[in-house]
Amino acid sequence: MMRQYLDLKAEAGDCLLFYRMGDFFELFFEDAKRAAAILDIALTSRGEHDGAPVPMCGVPVHAAENYLARLIRAGCRVAIAEQTETPEEAKARARREGTAVSKALVSRDIVRFVTAGTLTEETLLEPRRANVLAAIAELRGTFGVASCDISTGRMEMEECQPGTLASILARIGASEVVAAEDRDVPFDAVTRPPGDFSSDAGERALKAAHGVATLDGFGQFTRPMLAAAGGLLAYLDHAGRGSMPLLLPPVVRRSDGFLGMDEATRASLEILSSHRGGRAGSLIAAIDRCVTGAGARLLADDLAAPLAERAPIEARLALVDHVHADPLLRGDLRNLLRGLPDIGRALGRLVAGRGSPRDLGQLRDGLGEARRVGDLLRDRPDPPALLNTLLPDLAGHAELTDLLARALVPSPPTERQSGGYIAAEYDHALDDLREVSGNARRAIAAMEARYRDETGIGSLKIKHNGVLGYFIEVPARHADALMTSDSGFTHRQTMASAVRFNSLRLHEEASRIAEAGGRALAAEEAHFEELVETVAARAEPIARTAAAVARLDVVAGQAERASEGEWCRPVITEDTALAIREGRHPVVEAALVSSGERFVANDCTLSQADRLWLVGGPNMGGKSTFLRQNALIVLMAQAGGFVPAASATIGLVDQLFSRVGASDNLARGRSTFMVEMVETAAILQQAGPRSFVILDEVGRGTSTYDGLALAWAVAEAIHETNRSRCLFATHYHEMARLAETCPALSLHHVRAKEWKGDLVLLHELAAGAADRSYGLAVAKLAGVPSAVVARARSVLQKLEKGRAETGGLAAGLGELPLFAAAAEAEEKECDAVRERLAALDVDTLSPREALDLLYVLKREAGED
Ligand code: ADP
């Protein structure tokens, strides 16, 4: 056995090997240690290998999916080795081969690799998130990227230069990336043989997958794209051990059709997940009113890749408008969509050979519902063009749904083993078989009554279990009467309080049940296969229906959200103006509203002649919020949705950039000034006159002089060279002087006022430079002790005096011996704390001691 195990393990490579033994998947050696730690299950051992006990752990087969899900989430890949013959078959083989029957080993084979990117199981997938596998190939300096979501079959291909690869991958958000072994890729990837990534192999594999002689009908694919497709399909073939999942015809994605956003911009705008990592607090969480998983996935897609061309944006907007304008229609539509099964994923599982009768049932119900959705929307006045293209995809499938309706019971099971999913009257032979076993069951029930009469044992029962099948059971004290040779009963088993028998008549009826049952099961199985084939032959139109329904769910959700928040339909233009009246930040507003506060709406009106707004004002005044709300409004509009504003005219943006100064970015865990500058450099190199840039406190991650100098130079460059529309937030009010030299730059600030000695933040944008920075007032607002604020005030006076005398930003600092002395004293206290920490052996501390120590340290650090 160990040899067989090691052979399979060699094949599994760095995947964990799930080795099937009876009702368990067992793991051995390092695999066992790793899995036991992740799954928190017992690590045992079994036998010896090379003189040492073999570590082992196992998971029951019936619960394997749950364990798999946890392993995959922990970043593992798993090879499943199944038994490919029964123990009886193995013994028969041993007999034929003349080897020891008692030692006959059932043969096993890896039937599938379970990896993050190749999942189709409902339990392993998140309903509202796509699960994408991507492959990357490089040909002479150009990258090809092929990606697919095999749970729905969607496949896309694109090409890019090395500089934009990272941003494409950020957009795709793949859960697994494959690349050739011989390439150095700057991210986590599964590496595969270079031979897989040839354009010829890719072309061949695609043609084979779609049964076509040429790919021309699908689009124009470049060699790098085909090479990536080659790597992708080879990996799918490997992971599925030759059985291909659902793959719809690949679509070429042109990068110029979409709003460009790099990874840093996506992260900073918190589009699909917030800085904290989850969906909560993200843009999508504030927008998503989809009632189906497929709708939520498509919305995520729309937001991850907003459009950059007017016509398709307008098409989406017109449909949102149509549904927005008619609340009754919207309500009916959303009610129909609610509870609509996930057609696309059910289809994906069926085609991949991992489907269940329930998936067929979901198609029956989902396709039927889709037709009703179509009926609801058809024949209304002024249908938008997009609706007209979706309607045909909602109809159709009548023959298939009729077939499934006839073939299946109302709620088919997820398991096939015990049958019972094919409806009565679908197949008369099956009905007959069921009748035979039904009759036999009734005969057995009648037999029980008769046996009670005949034997006079009122407590005699006929029972059934998995080991014995049917048997007659009597309490032990009555057993003797049936033990006689002429009783007609044969003894089978003696239990503590009961004895079990068989009889010829019971045996006959039981055999009839078993035989009819076996044949019925085989018949159901055959029907299942046939139905799956029928479905698979219609995979593409079914997928189109799924896509149409998902689009309608997105549209209805957008319309619903718009009416909830009184959002407006943006006007899209081809120029470079940007006029947002009374704009709001959807996430911040939602948070404020839930705590009973009001969001202050603000205008943003940029044009070529006034393209750079410098936004000043106190910390916490609302600068970041203002910047982001405008970037988000652009993004939401170009994704084809309404926006949180009274009105919005948006000159199409080709690239959106968002940057946050380093010190604001601690949450991302790489808050170095270097990163800030790398990201800023990318903007200066890439942004153009159609781009929209928001820069939040850039230059903050370094000293005041450096920071101001850099912020100054960056603003100037964007104004002069990039000529992008730009909102630039800064707390350096010295930068206001830029307005003297940059004609298309204007000054703005978030208003604040001091009232009875307290700072009031109005969150209201006004023209002109900020009168002062209010830093000390903010500190007071934040609860900094008044003594410290007072001290800071006197330092500030000194600084400002110095500045006034020399004209320099921080001149006069040298005259501040007291400031230096204060800093030194503070430093000394910190040193004492630092020394104590260094001397500490953390491992020897009890939780109680640790807590006590924290109190001491805090005291020493002068906190009290
Ligand atoms: P800054 O960038 O100026 O430091 P932020 O944009 O981070 O300020 O805003 C600080 C806080 O002020 C936000 O978390 C929010 O609670 C509140 N805020 C910001 N803008 C508004 C607004 N327009 N209306 C109401 N509250 C706002």
Tokens describing residue 136: 């990357």
Q: Is the CB of 620 under 6 A from ligand 1?
A: yes
Pairing of strands 612-616, 602-606: unpaired
Q: State the alpha helices, DSSP H only, in 567-613.
A: 586-594
Using a 6 Å cutoff on CB, does residue 304 contact ligand 1?
no
Do 710 and 576 share a structural domain?
A: yes
Is 621 labelled a binding residue? yes
| Cα 714 from Cα 856, distance rounded (Å) | 47
**What is the pLDDT at residue 629?**
97
Give tens-digit pLDDT for 382-438.
Answer: 999 999 999 999 988 999 999 999 999 999 999 888 899 999 999 999 999 999 888
409/420 Cα distance (integer angstroms): 8
> Could you tell me if 149 and 43 lie in one domain?
no
> In this predicted structure, what is the pLDDT of residue 848?
83
Please tell me the distance from the alpha carbon of residue 162 to that of residue 159, in angstroms, as a whole number.
Answer: 10
Among the listed ranges 654-663, 680-689, 826-835, which one has the minimum average pLDDT value? 826-835
- Annotated binding residue at 623? yes
Grade residue 707 by pLDDT with cuts at 50, 70 and 90: confident
Q: Which atom of ligand 1 is nearest to the CA of 761?
A: 12
Render pLDDT for 40-59 as a digit per residue (tens, 0 to 9).
999 999 888 888 999 999 99
Is 1 annotated in a binding site? The answer is no
Cross-strand partners of 767 = 748
∠ CA 840-842-844, nearest 5°, is 105
- Specify the ligand 1 atom closest to the Cα of 585: 23
Give 617 Cα–ligand 1 centroid separation in angstroms: 11
Detail the DSSP E strand segments found in 652-770: 655-660, 692-696, 725-729, 745-755, 758-767
Judgement on whether residues 185 and 55 belong to the same structural domain of the protein: no
Cβ–Cβ under 8 Å, residues 264 and 659: yes
Q: Lowest-pLDDT range, 368-377, 578-587, 682-691, 758-767?
A: 758-767
CATH number at residue 321: 1.10.1420.10
- For the cut 50, the answer to whether the pLDDT of residue 821 exceeds it is no
92 or 733: which leads in pLDDT? 92
- Percent of the chain, pLDDT > 90? 61
Using a 6 Å cutoff on CB, does residue 623 contact ligand 1? yes
DSSP string, 449-511: HHHHHHH--TT-EEEEETTTEEEEEEEHHHHHHHHSTTSSEEEEEE-SSEEEEEEHHHHHHHH
Give 740 Cα–ligand 1 centroid separation in angstroms.
Answer: 29
What's the mean pLDDT when you consider all of the chain?
89
- Both structure tokens of 492: 């089978």
Among 402-411, 453-462, 525-534, 776-785, which stretch is predicted with the lowest mean pLDDT? 776-785
Residues 461, 465, 469: CA angle, nearest 5 degrees: 85
Number of domains in the chain: 6
Taking CA atoms only, the protein residue closest to ligand 1 atom 1 is 620
273 CA to centre of own chain: 10
Let me know whether 711 and 850 are in one domain. Answer: no
**Quick one: tokens of 362?**
């979901």
Judged by average pLDDT, the poorest of 180-189, 287-296, 394-403, 747-756 is 180-189
Confidence of residue 810 (pLDDT cuts 50, 70, 90): very low
Asked whether residue 754 falls in the same domain as residue 792, the answer is no
**Is residue 617 annotated as involved in ligand binding?**
yes
- Is 618 annotated in a binding site? The answer is yes
How many whole angstroms from 590 Cα to the centroid of ligand 1? Answer: 13
Distance CA 798, CA 563 (A): 54
For 2-48, write each residue's pLDDT tens digit: 889 999 999 998 899 999 998 999 999 999 999 999 999 999 998 88
Q: Are residues 335 and 363 in the same domain?
A: yes
Q: State whether the beta carbon of 622 lies less than 6 angstroms from ligand 1.
A: yes
3-state class of 339 per DSSP? coil
Q: What number is the average pLDDT over the span 743-757? A: 87
Instruction: Please give the distance, rounded to the nearest whole angstrom, from the Cα atom of residue 232 to the centre of ligand 1.
Output: 45
Q: Which of 399, 425, 424, 421 is nearest to 411 (CA)?
A: 421
| CB of 730 shorter than 6 A to ligand 1 | no
pLDDT of residue 827: 59
Do 380 and 348 lie in one domain? The reply is yes
pLDDT band (50, 70, 90) for residue 299: very high
129: tokens are 């998130």
Whose CA is closest to atom 9 on ligand 1? Answer: 622
Residues 727 and 585 in one domain: yes
**pLDDT reading at 139 higher than 50:** yes
* Residue 532 counted as domain residue: no
Our answer on whether the CB atom of 599 is closer than 6 Å to any ligand 1 atom is: yes
How many other C-beta atoms lie within 10 A of the C-beta of residue 612? 25
Phi, psi angles (nearest 5°) of residue 219? 145, 180
- pTM attached to this predicted model: 0.84
Is residue 174 within 8 Å of 163, Cβ to Cβ?
no
Burial of 399 (0-12, 13-18, 19+ CB in 10 A): exposed
- Domain holding 27, by residue range, is 2-114
Query: Of the given ranges (45-59, 277-291, 636-650, 780-794), which has the lowest mean pLDDT?
Result: 780-794
- The string of pLDDT tens digits covering residues 468-498 is 889 999 999 888 888 887 888 999 989 888 9
The Å distance, Cα 621 to ligand 1 centre, comes to 5
What is the DSSP-derived secondary structure letter of residue 77?
-
Average pLDDT over residues 136-161: 94
Q: Check whether 602 is labelled as a binding-site residue.
A: no
CA distance 204 to 438: 53
Boundary-marking domain end, from 564, 599, 621: 564
> What's the rounded mean pLDDT across residues 339-353?
93
Q: What is the pLDDT of residue 806?
A: 64
Are 714 and 695 in contact by the 8 Å Cβ rule? The answer is yes
Residue 596 and residue 675 in one domain: yes
Most ligand 1 atoms within 8 A of CB, residue of 595, 625, 762 to mutate: 625
Residues paired with residue 148 on neighbouring β-strands, in sequence order: 133, 155
If one counts every other C-beta atom within 10 angstroms of the C-beta of residue 133, the result is 27
Q: Which residues neighbour 263 within 8 Å (Cβ) at sequence distance 6 or greater?
A: 166, 167, 169, 170
Probe target for ligand 1 pocket from 628, 763, 773, 781, with the most ligand atoms within 8 Å of CB: 763
CA-closest residue to ligand 1 atom 10: 620
- Minimal CA–CA distance to 272: which of 260, 287, 259, 294? 287
Q: Is 171 a pocket residue for ligand 1 (Cβ < 6 Å)?
A: no
What are the percentages of helix, strand and coil residues in the chain, rounded to 5?
A: 50, 20, 30
Same domain, 22 and 134: no
Domain boundary residue among 83, 114, 145?
Answer: 114
Is 638's C-beta closer than 6 angstroms to any atom of ligand 1? Answer: no
Q: Does the Cβ of 600 fall within 6 Å of ligand 1?
A: yes
pLDDT at 373 over 90: yes
User: Which CATH number goes with the domain that contains 245?
Assistant: 3.30.420.110
Task: Kindly state whether residues 66 and 196 are assigned to the same domain.
Answer: no
